[in-house]
Chains A and B, each alone.
Chain A
């Protein structure tokens, strides 16, 4: 008999780091070059099968953080985990992601999360080094370079997180 569970996952990060594109890549397997900023939140659903279990991931794609508007913590209510996203070509977005993690942990406690350093297809323009990623992994975090354009690291990151938010 198949057991189905449903988990809320939030996408967090600075603006224009590729949160919406990562969700589109993961849910619809498509990528658009056009950048369209997210206001508020967009909700999507992705069903993952893990052995005899089905996990429905309810993905809350939150508006990007910037200097002017800060994250509404109310969106995070009831979240089982979250995905932190940074843009490898903009070093400041990694710092912002780390700052968000601290705020989420302060508000919601230690939730499972995955850190994706996105736009790895533009690695020649990256300002985040392999050493930076290694140092973050040293904290025991799940850290991956990813690309919504090519799909690199996307499936793996969500699958890992799904396994952690819905353990057998």
Chain B
């Protein structure tokens, strides 16, 4: 560069140094401060003492002296609070020079710009971090949403299955209700029928659903009549409770026997009973069944009579059995029907029962013939029966030869 006139140099120096604190230090090779000057106070160096070690007095020189490079510069060093200087170092033959040229204003200007840039950068970093957290939260939310949707789908599926099951249950309920209604109807019908029909007859009608059996028809039947000997006298003398108790024991003992022999209990009035075989349930040997039933009935009542006699009641039991055609069917009117038999065979059996003495089972000749092989019979002779024009040959069943009734009875129980 061409040499500048002194006036220009002076002017430039004045402009450059205006409003700047300038100071200097001069240090020898032994690091002793030789000289110092300028605006030392501005940098907190007002107490510098030439002749003393330099670095202990100006601590910013620590590690920098002796110089390893010259000239040497350190920019923007804040030596005292709020005082910033560029440090210029160089050496000459006497030692090292250190000049402090204040750059506080420049430093502040740069700082303002840099502050804004860093603030902006920090803001962007925070925004980025926030975005990352938001994205993470969003991802977590998405996962949660997917799980929720999966749960919802599972719930919907479960709901669907539940609805199907509910519908199925409703169908089952309906079927069940219909079945119950049908069964209740059947039971009611059965009860209604049982009220005025023998149980076996009622069950037959219910099971077949055919009530035509109740219509009038003729059938070859065996009719058994029985009643208690001495009952009228007993009923007159005993307390009503005793009478009822006796009848209860009597019926409890005999009715199951009748059912076990598949007889139809046509009716019972007080101590009397009428049992029919071969109608409405057909059976191949009605007379045999009637006689076998009669024997076990007799035995059963005999066992009961022991107790009654102990109580002072002379009670006996007589039975009459006949076989022949009778007219069978409903007798009565709406609301009070009876299924019964009408015919000579019924009257004959009833009359034989009337005349039978205690322990006797009186049978007609037809019945006697039918059971002769297995029953021990006693010929009673010809009896005039009320309502019949001719006397009748009558036999008494003394006992069974083979006692097979028990076999029949137990077979029924275990069926």
Contacts and interface: CB of A to CB of B under 8 A. Distances in A.
A8 B115 contact: no
B60 interface: yes
Contact of A77 (B64, B76, B77): B64
Given A6-B59, A58-B60, A37 B118 contact: yes
A10 B122 CA distance: 24
B62 A7 contact: yes
A81 to B, nearest CB: 11
B62 A6 contact: yes
A6 B111 contact: no
Interface in A45-81: 45, 56, 58, 64, 66, 68, 72, 74-75, 77-80
Contacts of A127: 129
A43 interface: yes
Interface string B81-121: 00010000000000000000000000100110011011101
A21 B314 CA distance: 129
Given A16-B118, A43-B77, A8 B110 contact: no
Given A39-B76, A40-B76, A16 B122 contact: yes
Contact of B62 (A41, A72, A78): A78
Contact of A56 (B59, B63, B64, B121): B59
Interface residues of B, number: 29
A31 interface: no
Contacts of B115: 36-37
Contacts of A43: 59-60, 77-79
B74 interface: yes
Number of chain A interface residues as a range: 20 to 34
Where chain B touches its partner, the secondary structure class is helix
Interface string B41-74: 0000000000000011001101110001000111
A8 B114 contact: no
B188 interface: no
B63 A80 contact: yes
A41 B76 contact: yes
A42 B74 contact: no
A40 B63 contact: no
B185 interface: no
A42 B78 contact: yes
B125 interface: yes
A64 B118 CA distance: 10
A2 to B, nearest CB: 14
B62 A8 contact: yes
B343 interface: no
Contact of A8 (B63, B84, B119): B63
B160 interface: no
Given A39-B107, A66-B118, A58 B62 contact: yes
B62 to A, nearest CB: 5
Interface in A71-111: 72, 74-75, 77-80, 90
A40 B77 contact: yes
Contacts of A26: none
Interface string A146-166: 000000000000000000000
B68 A77 contact: yes
Given A36-B115, A37-B114, A78 B60 contact: no
A74 B72 CA distance: 9
Contacts of B72: 74
B367 to A, nearest CB: 112
A43 B61 CA distance: 11
B75 interface: yes
Interface in A1-27: 6-8, 15-16
Given A40-B75, A40-B77, A43-B79, A78 B118 contact: no
Given A15-B118, A45-B59, A66-B121, A40 B64 contact: no
B110 A39 contact: yes
Contacts of B76: 39-41
B129 to A, nearest CB: 8
B121 A40 contact: no
Contacts of A37: 111, 114-115, 118
Instruction: List the 4 closest pairs (A to B, CB-CB), nearest first.
Output: A78-B63, A40-B76, A42-B78, A8-B63
Interface of A: 6-8, 15-16, 35-37, 39-43, 45, 56, 58, 64, 66, 68, 72, 74-75, 77-80, 90, 127
Given A8-B62, A37-B115, A127-B129, 20 more contacts: A15-B118, A16-B122, A36-B111, A36-B115, A39-B110, A40-B75, A40-B77, A40-B78, A41-B77, A56-B59, A58-B59, A58-B62, A66-B118, A68-B117, A74-B74, A75-B74, A77-B63, A77-B64, A78-B63, A80-B63
